Amino acid sequence: MFLPVYNSRFAPIEPKPSFRPPVRGSTPGWDGLQTSTYAYSGDGETTLEWNSEVRPITDRYPYNQLSKSFDLFAQPTIPLGSNQPRPFPVSDIAMSVNIRPEDEGVVLTPTIEARGMVFRAVVDASAGTASVEMKPDQDEATGWVTLDTGETGTIGSGAYTRVEFWHVDQALYVFIDGSLVCGGAESGAYSLTPAERASAATAMSYDQLRADSSIGNGVSRAGVFSRPDIYVAPSVRWGFSGGPFTLTNVSIERDISYQVSLPEINGAMATRGAHPNFFPTLTDDEFFMCGDNSPRSADGRLWAEDSIIPWVREYIDATPGVVNRDLVVGKAFVVYFPSLLRDRAIPTPDIGRVRWIW
């Protein structure tokens, strides 16, 4: 379910002076950051840092630019009451590069700071090893905890190797040329309760979150989790030592994410499952329906209490926000979106990307 945020392969062929790439080097020696190929000529430690001021990692979809009022690069600090859709930071991220070292001594450490912690992979080309590690954010006294280790095989000089580091669903992954070599849903997992996850994502204690009613109680009106300004934005960087090297296909992707509220669609309506005091559960015969465009879709969490038509309420299921098994009568068979970027009432399909679901 990863969605692209940026890939250097799509950098402008002839960048204008106003073009700002969303990456920056921490030391001298970097070249080509406005192009599709980055080169580092030094031999000491260096970092390629993601610049969230240029390209924030949020739940925004580019194809929502069909709306003239939509800003792909809007920051989560848009004031409440501005009547503009507010983006939410996303911390489940996949970062990847194609790296061509000039010698075999390069060590690559992709790093993600999120949810009050630091997550990283250590990929040692000369040793042929990889590990996934984590530690509390800003806590220099606490050492790294290694979740898993693995063998990468040879990452030789003179040829490109694809290195991917994922932080998704409370687990870390390392892929080399498409093969999982370290971490995973079990070996790379860490544990947070829902309360701990909420506190880590917002830098507020769970008691503070439950007591906050600045915009509503979360049950009859949208609550504290509907405030994008409380969420801590992720920080992303690639660390290197033992250069020089060349990079291509420098990429950031983010996991699909569902907003807590959509004020431009449902006003201040509370969102099911978005507050500890408003957390309905499903039976074995009920399904939650996701929207096709999560930042702008009123999915099952946002359906009104009186939205069930009378005969369904009487004969099948009177539970708001869900679809009963007896009402599921079809099967998805084609992917229609995303559409071409055109300012039309009905988006024009991108025929080259429409595909069947078998």
**Digit-coded pLDDT (tens) for 255-291:** 988 877 766 666 678 888 888 888 888 899 999 888 7
Q: Say how far apart CA 166 and CA 56 lie, in whole Å.
A: 18
Q: Say how far apart CA 116 and CA 136 lie, in whole Å.
A: 6
pLDDT at 347: 67
Mean of pLDDT values over 102-124: 92
Q: State how far the alpha carbon of 140 is from the alpha carbons of 26, 118, 205, 232, 234, in Å.
A: 21, 11, 22, 20, 19
pLDDT tier, 124 (very low <50, low <70, confident <90, very high otherwise): very high
Tell me the pLDDT of the chain averaged across its residues: 87
Pick from 134-138, 147-151, 192-196, 309-313: least confident: 134-138
Q: What are phi and psi of 43, to 5 degrees?
A: -125, 0
Q: Say how far apart CA 275 and CA 213 lie, in whole Å.
A: 11
Is pLDDT at 207 greater than 70 in this prediction?
yes
| Sign of torsion over alpha carbons 193, 199, 202, 207 | positive
Chosen CATH of 3-254 out of 2.60.120.560, 1.20.1600.10, 3.40.50.2000, 3.40.50.720: 2.60.120.560
pLDDT at 137: 75
Structural domain spans, the chain: 3-254, 280-358
| Angle at 269 (CA atoms; ends 268, 271), nearest 5 degrees | 120
Q: State how far the alpha carbon of 62 is from the alpha carbons of 8, 59, 187, 336, 348, in Å.
A: 16, 10, 34, 16, 15
Pick from 53-67, 103-117, 144-158: least confident: 53-67
Nearest residue to 91 (alpha-carbon basis) of 122, 112, 60, 121: 112
Mean of pLDDT values over 164-186: 96
Whose structure tokens read 């093969």? 179
Mean of pLDDT values over 33-39: 94
Query: 37 pairs with which residues across the strands?
Result: 248
